[in-house]
Amino acid sequence: MRDKLRVASIHGQINQMVNGFTTSSNSGHQTKIPSEDFQAPVVSGLSMGSGEYFVRVSVGTPPKSMYLVLDTGSDILWLQCAPCTNCYHQTDAVFDPSKSSTYSSLGCNNKICLNLDVNGCQANKCLYQVDYGDGSFTTGEFATDAITLNSASGGGQVILSKIPLGCGHDNEGYFVGAAGLLGLGKGPLSFPSQVDPQNGGRFSYCLTDRDSDSSERSTLVFGDAAVSSSGARFTPQVNNPRVSTFYYLKMTGISVGGTLLTIPNSAFQLDSMGNGGVIIDSGTSVTRLQNSAYAALRDAFRAGTTSLAPTAGFSLFDTCFDLSGLASVDVPTVTLHFQGGTDLRLPAENYLIPVDNSNTFCLAFAGTTGPSIIGNIQQQGYRVIYDNVRNQVGFVPSQCD
């Protein structure tokens, strides 16, 4: 349910932007670029009730550790703050800004405040609100504070000062587990843009098996270390001049069982009005493909699995199988092709997933009328590199160690 609403929210944000709403291209805020690379642990949120992935960071002075949703589909860093008007249940204690010596409110005329999509003012303190289109929202005071992460070179910590963040006192909707959200989008207020304002930042992550618990960790890495993985294959980012937040890629095709599918060129194209295209998103679980592309994938996959026992669909999945009594199965390979000859060949566990305790497995794709979205199920086990200096995204298999 949460995943379906998130996709609707992404489509809603894009529709709003392509129909005339635009964001500023400059936050007007100068943050000193760190002299060394830094990183933070990444875990699956499934054991805490979420289909998203969480990153472990520390906020304030003294630093308080907490989980934040790792989200490339939004820009604002926010967390729940005391006192709460409405706060959902989170794993860690709610952050109290009055106990942080580095917490600082922003004035209403501060350029950062004026750059917010939705802002307000009370007692000359900047107020923010973020609506996610699924009915979820966060609202409170917009401020700055220190963020502490681990050095990527091993040992020690890196303290980032005066990072803009939302201190949410009213947070309602489909949030669960994490204390808030780390916005990794391309907008001027996103965390990567703040720590490297001239270049928009460079970062990478590897998403572990979503069924793993919080003891199985990978890393979210920033700086040169994020783009230094050997064997990375890159594809250019595609600019959508009407939408600043999302990472668009040019998908050129899909193969099933080694055969390139016949899919209309228009299925993956970003048009002149900013509609369509293909987004890669860490917060969406199930990959959505434009309906004609999904139909071609589904039909080819079904044709290659006639030896398996089909069963009724489950939730948004329409291609499911009863694998009871089978120790292993052979299924067609699925490969996503991108501009520049970059191929994302998916392991079977990234597209045929269990959906219940009765050995029902489903093809983990779905159709959509909006832009296609590559979700986190398909990204499992790959280190995904966002190189915003060279405006490209890279993939390295088996890099979660």
By annotation, the residues acting in catalysis are 71, 281
Q: Which helix (H) or strand (E) holds 70?
A: strand 64-71
Distance (Å, rounded) from C-alpha 194 to C-alpha 156? 22
Residues ≥6 apart with Cβ < 8 Å to 215 = none
What value does the CA radius of gyration of the chain take, rounded to a whole number of Å?
Answer: 21
CA–chain centroid gap for 15, Å, is: 19
φ/ψ bin of 176: left (φ > 0), alpha (ψ from -120 to 50), beta (otherwise): beta
Q: Which helix (H) or strand (E) holds 219?
A: strand 218-222
Do the strands 78-80 and 157-172 form a parallel or antiparallel pair, or are they unpaired? parallel
Closest CA to 142 of 78, 83, 90: 78
Residues ≥6 apart with Cβ < 8 Å to 20 = none
Length of the chain: 401
The amino acid occupying position 243 is V
The DSSP code for 195 is H
